[in-house]
Amino acid sequence: MAMLEVNNLKVHYKILKGVVHGVDGVSFKLERGSTLGLVGESGCGKSTMAYAITRLLAANAEIVEGNIVFEGKVIAGSEEERALPKRKRAKYIEQTMRDIRWKEISMIFQSAMNAFNPVYKVGDQIGEAILAHEDVTKDEARKKVKRLFELVGLDVSRIDGYPHEYSGGMRQRAMIAMALACNPKLIIADEPTTALDVIMQDRVLAEIRDLQRRLGMAMIIITHDISVVAEVAEKIGVMYAGMLFEYGDIGAVFNRPSNPYSIGLMASFPSIKGEKKQLYSIPGSPPDLANPPPGCRFHPRCKYAKDICKEKMPEMIEVEPNHWSACHFALEIFNTQLAAAARRG
Amino acid sequence: MADSDVVIDVIKLRKYFDVKKGFLESLTSKEQMYVHAVDDIDFQIKKGKILGMVGESGCGKTTAGRMLVRLENPTSGQILLNGDDIVKKKGAELKLFRRKVQMVFQDPYESLNPRFTVFDTVAEPLIVHGVGESYEEREDMVAKALEYAELKPASEYMPRYPHELSGGQRQRVAIARTLALRPEFIVADEPVSMLDVSIRAGIMNLMLSLKDRYKIPFMFVTHDVSVSRYMSDDIAVMYLGNIVEYGPAEEVIMNPYHPYMNALLSAVPVPDPKFKRGRTQIKGDLPNAINIPTGCPFHPRCLYAKDICREKKPEIREVKGTHKAQCHFAGELNFDILNEEPTANTAPQASAP
């Protein structure tokens, strides 16, 4: 049994003008100890996914369909929850998640700059998370914080420092230490390195990879940068306009991308390795999710779009074992990629 | 003088910012401290070429760019635009200079006035500089500028407000605004870092085609080495206000001489899961720009530092052709960063908690 199962999840945001289809029918499974990279552009629903799993969605968001199963327990979208009137749901979420949040699933937030309370010492804030979830004394919690500092490569003498005394990279490490505080089984990292310089990003990524391997946690890393995913993940999910467009083993998706959107995304990334290639840009811009286009959501920007794409939403097609693509022509594209790969040798 | 192709020639350019002291500090200490933002840098930009300025945050790359358009006044040094020193310009002369150089800013959500239509935004520099005789003539110039920036048909975009445009379109409007005055030189400060990936490539290709078609030289400031490689003819790498490496883009990327550039390159993630990098060859954190280390500014973080590095600041010197580096041992160090390190299976080992 997979550790985390997301089944046909739909999260909608209510706004004045109507409904924003933030996440619209996403399914995937995550095994123990493995890493999934979710990539996509801003507004594609990748962060909404993270907040849905941790049940930290904004007040105007609602899980309208589908469910999330963690370790055999339905943590979102259960029958029981749906039966409740809306005003009682917040309390219900609080009760189901109390033992799961941080102890089982923890999160590394995007802006470590703002994730800490500026008037409390960093060590105390991490200690507080431990005290809230584990039956330990203050001294034991502090000892554990020290161990965590060592684990993520922070100077233990800075334990009584305030957030403003930390550099960006240090704060990000402290954030990771906090996420690890209760030995979670799953860590969700939302753009963990976006605000960092490249050398610091490299160190933090190495740290994350190393810790994950040592402690055997599963991880979902959410980013717009496919090169970051290429470095840390084993599975990749490419999201566009609230939907999963391609999903599979990292090598398969990178070598034989079988969806026009992922192909476009990969062709728009410059690299410092290999030949200097002409970059391709996808025409147009992502759709307004309050008013998504009919049929395939990518069709207005897709150069292969045919009539069927305007009418019918494509299903996920398994083009090879452990590699799916949501495109009417996924198999054709896959075969062309295969032929191209054979030519490359 | 240098050859006629040189549009921008920067000589010993320096910018120090005063460190503001609190009241008590000003009573107790007399010494004025400075942030060494840019410390005696030299470079040239030729007609129809793009110079990529790369470095981490706080290295002085943005300050250097802002000085070239006189948004910051240099502490000392010279900036020659077609042989004419712009550092001392004032009044009418300065205004005339401002017509010739333009800047594209990082965030198109901040750099456009939300109450101006696209037409107002692009026409404003024309009005400020009194270009164009009549409204019709200006309208024509605005339309042309928008079309250069690939906003077609221009008439459709002119009456729109920034909130009606996507991020990529906004940045195109910002580029059209710089083109309206037909500048001799453009500074682009991180113009694509706020944009989504699929749109980024379009803006980069637009700037490349402007360079090719109209031979406008650019200075392209970015923290992203991969972006810089794609855009630039030459690359200058900055560290703590110094240009530590400078040369033709492919040479600098493929065969770096300075240990800092080597470290930077080894830290850049590669969009290919087969590629496994070794550890980044750098130690410690970036020192602040107030107390610059003595000797070579990079020595406390350098894995190759010797005694001389702690004592004497190296000069930037040509190592091979026009490829320069500011390192005592430039050309003698062997980094081997491009060799892939064979790593075993990347799959995590499940362990009992």
Domains and CATH numbers, chain A: 4-233 (3.40.50.300), 239-344 (no CATH)
Burial A230-261 (b: 16+ CB within 10 A, else e): bbbbbbbbbbbbbbbbbbbbbebbbbbbbbbb
What is the 3-state secondary structure of chain B?
CCCCCEEEEEEEEEEEEECCCCHHHHHHCCCCCEEEEEEEEEEEEECCCEEEEECCCCCCHHHHHHHHCCCCCCCEEEEEECCEECCCCCHHHHHHHHHHEEEECCCCCCCCCCCCCHHHHHHHHHHHCCCCCCHHHHHHHHHHHHHHCCCCCHHHHCCCCHHHCCHHHHHHHHHHHHHCCCCCEEEEECCCCCCCHHHHHHHHHHHHHHHHHHCCCEEEEECCHHHHHHHCCEEEEEECCEEEEEEEHHHHHHCCCCHHHHHHHHHCCCCCCCCCCCCCCCCCCCCCCCCCCCCCCCHHHCCCCCHHHHHCCCCCEEEECCEEECCCCCCCCCCCCCCCCCCCCCCCCCCCC
Nearest CA in chain A to B253: A272
More reliable by pLDDT, B74 or B1: B74
Q: Is B241 left (phi over 0), alpha (psi -120 to 50) or beta?
A: left
CATH 2.60.40.1220 for the B6-20+33-325 domain, yes or no: no
Has residue B295 got a pLDDT over 50?
yes
| A334, two tokens | 């896959």
Nearest CB among A167, A273, A285 relative to B270 is that of A273
Distance from CA of A28 to the nearest CA of B (A): 19
Distance from CA of A79 to the nearest CA of B (A): 32
Has residue B350 got a pLDDT over 60?
no
Q: Is B284 on the interface with A (CB under 8 A)?
A: no
Scan residues 147-186 of B and list those with Cβ closer than 8 Å to A: 166-169
The predicted structure's pLDDT at residue B26: 76
Q: Is A262 on the interface with B (CB under 8 A)?
A: no
Nearest CB among A199, A213, A254 relative to B272 is that of A254
The predicted structure's pLDDT at residue B340: 45
Cβ pair A268:B268 closer than 8 A? no
More reliable by pLDDT, B1 or A319: A319
- Mutation test of the interface with chain A: which of B272, B275, B343, choosing the one with the most A Cβ atoms within 10 A? B272
Q: Please state, in angstroms and as integers, the Cα–Cα distance from residue A230 to each residue in A35, A58, A330, B272, following that order.
A: 11, 30, 22, 6
- Calpha distance A35→A219 (Å, rounded): 5
The predicted structure's pLDDT at residue A112: 65
Has residue B344 got a pLDDT over 50?
no
Nearest CB among B201, B280, B347 relative to A268 is that of B201
The predicted structure's pLDDT at residue B345: 37
Q: Which of B6-15, B161-170, B285-294 has the highest mean pLDDT?
A: B6-15
Cβ pair A269:B227 closer than 8 A? no
At B215, the pLDDT band (50, 70, 90 cuts) reads: very high
The predicted model gives B268-272 an average pLDDT of 88
- Mutation test of the interface with chain A: which of B61, B198, B224, choosing the one with the most A Cβ atoms within 10 A? B198
- Mutation test of the interface with chain A: which of B169, B196, B228, B337, choosing the one with the most A Cβ atoms within 10 A? B196
Check if the beta carbon of residue A249 is closer than 8 Å to that of residue A319. no
Chain A residues with beta carbon closer than 8 angstroms to that of B56: 197-199
Place of tokens 């410092």: A272
The predicted model gives B20-27 an average pLDDT of 78
Nearest CA in chain A to B337: A273
At B221, the pLDDT band (50, 70, 90 cuts) reads: very high
Q: Is A120 on the interface with B (CB under 8 A)?
A: no
Q: Under 8 Å CB-to-CB from B95, ≥6 apart: which residues?
A: B129
Chain B residues with beta carbon closer than 8 angstroms to that of A35: 348
Supply the ipTM of this predicted assembly.
0.84
Distance from CA of B349 to the nearest CA of A (A): 6
Has residue A258 got a pLDDT over 70?
yes
Chain A residues with beta carbon closer than 8 angstroms to that of B255: none
pLDDT in tens, A100-129: 988 899 999 877 667 889 999 999 999 998
The predicted structure's pLDDT at residue A345: 67
Nearest CB among B200, B268, B353 relative to A268 is that of B200
The predicted model gives B261-273 an average pLDDT of 89
Chain A residues with beta carbon closer than 8 angstroms to that of B282: 199
Domain ranges of chain B: 6-20+33-325
Has residue A320 got a pLDDT over 90?
yes
Nearest CA in chain B to A34: B348
Has residue A210 got a pLDDT over 50?
yes
Q: Is B194 on the interface with A (CB under 8 A)?
A: no
The predicted model gives B29-37 an average pLDDT of 83
Cβ pair B282:A199 closer than 8 A? yes
Nearest CB among B168, B223, B352 relative to A198 is that of B223
The predicted structure's pLDDT at residue A98: 87
Chain B residues with beta carbon closer than 8 angstroms to that of A197: 56-57, 223, 286
- Give this prediction's pTM: 0.87
More reliable by pLDDT, B340 or A92: A92
Scan residues 45-104 of A and list those with Cβ closer than 8 Å to B: none
Distance from CA of A90 to the nearest CA of B (A): 32
At B336, the pLDDT band (50, 70, 90 cuts) reads: low
pLDDT in tens, A144-201: 999 999 888 888 999 999 998 888 888 888 998 899 888 899 999 998 888 788 888 8
| B323, two tokens | 């490829």
- Calpha distance B22→A40 (Å, rounded): 46
Cβ pair A199:B205 closer than 8 A? no
Has residue A281 got a pLDDT over 90?
no
pLDDT in tens, B137-154: 999 999 999 999 999 889
pLDDT in tens, B302-327: 999 999 999 999 999 999 999 999 99
- Mutation test of the interface with chain B: which of A44, A103, A269, choosing the one with the most B Cβ atoms within 10 A? A269
Return the percentage of chain A with pLDDT > 70, whole number. 99
**Mean pLDDT for chain A?**
90
Chain A residues with beta carbon closer than 8 angstroms to that of B168: 285
**Mean pLDDT for chain B?**
88
